[in-house]
Amino acid sequence: MVNSGLEDEVSNLLAGEEISVSFKGNLFRCCRYGVWYFVMVEMPIGVIDLSAWLYNNSEMLSHNEQVLSHHDKVYYCVLQKKIDIALIYEKFIKYIECN
């Protein structure tokens, strides 16, 4: 579980505010939109590998998850009502191990 200080820092964001938090060596960008939190973290795969990853693994993604590319980088993105960086990290690790 993420320490309560980090959870408080992220959950206290106001609408439209963004914060970057480091968790287990990965940088998570968190932004709040109303009651939703949008979190993204860069995946260590190239854009050229994205179509293969999506073809082989997209069925694992839940309704609130996406894998997107932007400026030659690939990001794992999640939309949550209650922020849980530890859970996002677990899923992120599972998805990059599929590569």
Confidence of residue 6 (pLDDT cuts 50, 70, 90): low
Q: Which among 98, 99, 90, 97 is positioned nearest to 26, based on CA atoms?
A: 90
Contact 64, 76 (CB under 8 A): no
CATH code assigned at 77: 3.30.1460.10
pLDDT tens by residue, 27-60: 999 999 888 999 999 988 877 788 888 888 888 8
State the total domains in the chain: 1
User: Which residues form the domain of 59?
Assistant: 4-97
Q: Render pLDDT for 70-95 as a digit per residue (tens, 0 to 9).
A: 888 899 999 999 888 888 999 999 88
Residues 97, 86: Cα–Cα separation, whole Å: 17
Q: Find all residues with CB under 8 Å of 74, minimum gap 6, and list them.
A: 42, 43, 45, 46, 47, 49, 50, 53, 67, 68
